[in-house]
């Protein structure tokens, strides 16, 4: 282990150099948060959910603060997460009735509305990584509304922006459109995460929301296909960069 650390340190230079202490702190936070999170799994779903997204936010803040200090300038970050975590929970029945929050809400509250731009990706039908077929969207949903629009406009895929950034301010493109969609609060939106149950989809994957207030932009793809896995690699190859054979920091997450 010591020899590996010495070799790793020698390979690092310039922008590649990382703060070993910071990496250790991040790993320690993961261990601490994981224990607390799993302890809540026997409690209410709200407590379990809120704790996880709070930890996401704390990790994001720590990374932004660290990189800002390292580079001496404000940092921009892209957070890739499921729609149910990105869309502002305050504008869903889960937030209003179940008092659930998420990182999309917490980021807006922490950094300000003008500093955060939430994007949703959604579809009418297709397939996911588990090779299951995604059901056609239901008539009382935003997904079906977008599907209808795509058919009538002959544009199966489209980008729907509610807001744009000008300087330091976020401004509405069409307040009328935002208000009209927000008034459709009795429409549901679909959330497909790590697990998808087509047979119980209405109960387990749909919830009421004001989508134009949750998100700043919608990417709609009428029919989607799951990504194909990359060729199998050895464990050693997965933990190394393609170029230079430099080892990745231990906080780097490798998924299938």
Output the pLDDT for position 251: 44
Task: DSSP for 10-38, please give it.
Answer: HH--GGG---HHHHHHHHHHHHHHHHHHH
Q: How many whole angstroms separate alpha carbon 26 and alpha carbon 202?
A: 38
Check whether 147 has a pLDDT greater than 60.
yes
Helices (H) and strands (E) in the chain, counts: 11, 8
pLDDT in tens, 186-196: 899 999 888 88
The model carries a pTM of 0.79
| Cβ atoms of 241 and 143 closer than 8 Å | no
| Cβ atoms of 211 and 120 closer than 8 Å | yes
Confidence of residue 230 (pLDDT cuts 50, 70, 90): low
Domain ranges of the chain: 117-225
């Amino acid at each position: 282990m010591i020899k590996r650390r010495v070799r790793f340190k020698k390979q690092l230079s310039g922008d590649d150099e990382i703060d070993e202490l910071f990496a250790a702190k991040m790993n320690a936070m993961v261990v601490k948060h994981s224990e607390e999170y799993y302890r809540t799994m026997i409690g209410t779903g709200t407590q379990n959910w809120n704790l996880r997204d709070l930890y996401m936010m704390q990790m994001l803040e720590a990374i932004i603060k660290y990189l800002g200090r390292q580079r001496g300038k404000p940092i921009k970050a892209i957070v890739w997460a499921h729609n149910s975590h990105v869309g502002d929970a305050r504008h869903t029945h889960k937030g209003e009735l179940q008092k659930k929050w998420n990182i999309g809400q917490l980021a807006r509250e922490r950094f300000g509305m003008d500093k955060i731009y939430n994007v949703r990706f959604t579809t009418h039908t297709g397939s996911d990584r588990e090779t299951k077929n995604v059901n056609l969207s239901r008539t009382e949903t935003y997904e079906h509304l977008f599907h209808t629009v795509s058919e009538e406009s002959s544009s199966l895929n489209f980008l729907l922006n509610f807001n744009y950034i000008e300087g330091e301010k976020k401004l509405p493109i069409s307040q009328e459109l935002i208000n009209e969609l927000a008034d459709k609060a009795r429409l549901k939106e679909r959330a497909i995460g790590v697990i998808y149950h087509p047979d119980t989809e209405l109960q387990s994957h749909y919830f009421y929301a004001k989508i134009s207030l949750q998100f700043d932009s919608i990417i709609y793809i009428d029919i989607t296909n799951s990504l194909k896995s990359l060729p199998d690699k050895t464990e050693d190859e997965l933990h190394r960069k393609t170029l230079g054979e430099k080892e990745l920091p231990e906080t780097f997450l490798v998924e299938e």
